[in-house]
Amino acid sequence: MAGKIDARLAELGITLPDAPAPAANYVPYVLAGDMLFISGQISAGPDGLIKGCLGGNMDVEGGAKAARQCGIAILAQARAALGGDLDRIVRVVKLGGFVNSTADFTDQPKVINGCSDLMVEVLGDAGRHARAAVSTPSLPLGVAVEIDAVIQVR
């Protein structure tokens, strides 16, 4: 049975993929009481990894699209963790955003907005969150963005 969040995803034309498998020795999420901790989700879409370096070979718009894909993966992991019931989400508490960028690139917040905006589009006020948006000289597999999440659930 589809819930409110599934209906909202459909309205937005978003189909969640299966939750991505971990790429190393960790679990994709940990549910501890009413808090769901989702491991970093790397930028990937239907055509594979979204690679790039912001301030180098990728612009802010491309980075924001990559961050949005990280958000879609976060929601897919949440769906897996919650037995398919995204309506158990109370609120997104915090996102941690990492942007593969040059030393002089300073628009990390604009890039991570791709994920933040998605959370609000899908979850409304429950998608508003605390956040970090930091630069890094490289990310796993050469991806442009990685984002982890802390979500309160019922």
Tell me the average pLDDT across 147-153: 98
Say whether pTM exceeds 0.95: yes
Residue 17's pLDDT band (cuts 50, 70, 90) = very high
User: How many structural domains is the chain composed of?
Assistant: 1
Buried b (16+ CB within 10 A) or exposed e, 6-38: beebeeeebebeebeeeeeeeebbeeeeeebbb
Q: Which residue has the tokens 């209906």?
A: 7
pLDDT at 133: 98
CB 147 within 8 A of CB 40: yes
Residue 29's pLDDT band (cuts 50, 70, 90) = very high
Say which amino acid occupies 128.
R
pLDDT at 50: 98
**Tokens representing 87?**
């309506």
Tell me the average pLDDT across 137-154: 98
CB 102 within 8 A of CB 41: no
CB 148 within 8 A of CB 96: yes
Q: Is 102 left (phi over 0), alpha (psi -120 to 50) or beta?
A: beta
Model confidence at 1: pLDDT above 70: no
Q: Helical H runs in the chain?
A: 4-11, 60-81, 108-123
Cα 106 from Cα 117, distance rounded (Å): 19
Q: Residue 141 is part of which domain span?
A: 4-153
pLDDT at 27: 97
Q: Helical H runs in 12-138?
A: 60-81, 108-123
Model confidence at 2: pLDDT above 80: no
> What tens digit of pLDDT does each residue of 96-143 get?
999 999 999 999 999 999 999 999 999 999 999 999 999 999 999 999
Q: What is the CATH number of the domain that holds 92?
A: 3.30.1330.40
Strand partners, 153: 89
Strand partners, 101: 54
